[in-house]
Amino acid sequence: MDTNKTIEILNLGLIPYRDAWDFQENLLSEKVSEKSKRRIESDLPFSNHQLILCEHPSTFTLGKSGNPSNLLVDEQFLSDHQVDYIKINRGGDITHHGPGQCVGYPILDLECFFTDIHRYLRLLEETIILTLNDFGIESGRFPGYTGVWLEPDHPQRARKICAMGIRCSRWITMHGWALNVNNDLTPFEWMVPCGIRDKDVTSLSRELGQKVDMSLVHERIVTHFSAMFGATLMAKERPVSHPLG
């Protein structure tokens, strides 16, 4: 069976979280429909996959297994600070998105690559680990948790720099990672990040002591992502179906 390992890189810039979520859902629905048609027309070609890169205005998101009590502020506080709060259909608990954070949403049909969710998550983590290494930051995995951590071998100093949470339907992925680059970390004090009470959160700029060029972060992520999945990449301009036009 011929498959397609071409991944389109879609940089949507700063986009409201709900709009990006709707955009992902539309892409996933298209791929599910395509798979259904292929059962009837076996020679139907595979469409390209997508890697969405973007940033969001200040937003808390709570995963489907998350505990609402991990948000430590009330609705009035959120309103006063112009922060959205959205319950979503990814795995994981609560996290925060804000400008200056590198958010990545791979929309992949894993049947074109491999059918192993554990392996998929480890490759996403490895993509971020290699990217951080390019900036001189050593990172790794913290036993029992997803995401990417600094000093994971020292529990008292371990701090999270990248959160991850995904959804997979019929082997098609959505959601992904949130890598702290230049974003304000104050909102992480208003919650229990990922439901973990005794660990700090950090960012690339905090660790380096200076602001980081986001375009360079994107470039390194895309390079490592391509290598991890053995994919051909295709840069694509903002699609006409983008919810912001």
Residues known to be catalytic: 194
Tokens describing residue 106: 């791979």
Neighbours of 189 (CB within 10 A): 11
Residue at token pair 């979280």 = 17
Interatomic CA distance for residues 92 and 23, integer angstroms: 21
Strands (E), 37-156: 49-55, 59-62, 84-87, 94-97, 101-107, 148-150
Tell me the three state secondary structure of residue 195. Answer: helix
* Cβ-based burial of 42 (10 A; exposed 0-12, middle 13-18, buried ≥19): exposed
- Please give the DSSP secondary-structure letter assigned to residue 140: B
The three-state secondary structure class of 119 is: helix
- Checking 239-243 for CB contacts under 8 A at 24+ apart, the result is 239/10, 241/23, 241/26, 242/12, 242/23, 243/15, 243/19, 243/22, 243/23
